[in-house]
Chain A
Amino acid sequence: MAQIKIDGDQLIVEIEGWDKLWALKSRLEIPLANVRGATADPGITQEPKGVRAPGAYVPGVITAGTFHINGERVFWDVHHPANAVVIQLADERYTRLIIEVPNPRETVDQIEQAIAHTS
């Protein structure tokens, strides 16, 4: 589970609880300028995840940590697919964050509004 907040021009992702152990990184700070979008996407958990970077792994229990697929580096932290959110990044260590949040719809709206170009 992750908590997401927007602080000024930064998106802050805090990985909570035991996931910290598996995911190795417990806090990510990303400039909003490098956030391309957020989408609630339960179905993504059915997709191939690619090759896992070295680290702890508990088969079938959790998907957490860094994965490599098609030359992209993806950060996963999902237990319950229904609450999965995909955050697409640019010019960051990770191409994409796939994380579980308490309220996907609100989280997605909050991020998309923060990066919207209103004219």
Chain B
Amino acid sequence: MGRPRAFDEATAVASAAALFASRAYDGISVDDLVNHLGVHRNSLYQTFGSKRGLYLRALRWHLDEQVRPALRRNATFDNGLDFLLLAATERAPADPEVATEITRILAEFDEALTAPATSALLGDHLRARLSR
């Protein structure tokens, strides 16, 4: 359906995840996304439907590609947990789909690490934001 997309979707999603991890959702305009991702505005809408559509894709990518693999290997989170933390504090209360993703991943953390260890880990990552 339609013409081939002139950009790499996976790269765009990863790049959006980095941007969404850096500052508040409302502080990122479509102009910012277009510039940062190097994707045409029309392609962005054609592929993701909306800014929120892209946000959800990016959040799920962050959880599936960066968080879950490290959790399974019991490894350190080299790519950080900023996106998860921002999504949990900022978007989850306003967006039920984000809340579902965050609830699910926190349950997986609890399962893998126990609830107190999860709280300590997230707390450490929260504090680490200050010392950068």
- A residues neighboring B (CB under 8 Å): 36-44, 47, 69-72, 86, 88, 95-96, 108-109, 112-113, 116-119
Bound CA span A75–B101, Å: 34
Which stretch (B40-48, B67-75, B122-130) binds chain A?
Answer: B40-48
Question: Chain A's interface: helix, strand, loop or mixed, by majority?
Answer: mixed
Report whether A44 and B30 are in contact in the complex, using a CB–CB cutoff of 8 Å.
yes
Residues of A within 8 A of B30 (CB): 39, 41, 43-44, 86
Q: How far is the CA of A113 from the CA of B51 in the complex (A)?
A: 13
How many B residues have CB within 8 A of the partner chain? 20
A117→B97 contact, CB < 8 A: yes
Measured CB to CB, the residues of B under 8 A from A are 3, 29-31, 34, 41-42, 45-46, 48-53, 94-97, 100
A116 & B50 in contact (Cβ 8 Å cutoff): no
Chain A residues in 8 Å Cβ range of B48: 37
Given known A-B contacts A43-B29, A47-B41, A70-B42, A86 and B50 have beta carbons under 8 A apart: yes
A70 to B6, CA, bound (A): 13
Q: Is the CB of A116 within 8 A of B29?
A: no
Q: Are A118 and B42 in contact (CB under 8 A)?
A: no
A39/B41 contact (C-beta < 8 A), A71-B3, A118-B96, A118-B100 known: no
A37–B29 CB distance below 8 A: no
B45 touches A112 (CB 8 A): no
From A36, A40, A109, A118, contact of B49 by CB (8 A)? A36
Tell me the nearest residue of chain B to A71, going by C-beta: B3
Q: Is B96 a contact of A116 with CB atoms below 8 Å?
A: yes
Q: Say how far A118's CB is from chain B's closest CB, in angstroms.
A: 5
Are A88 and B41 closer than 8 Å at their CB atoms? no
Chain A to chain B contacts (Cβ below 8 Å), 8 pairs: A37-B48, A38-B50, A41-B51, A44-B41, A70-B3, A95-B46, A117-B97, A119-B100
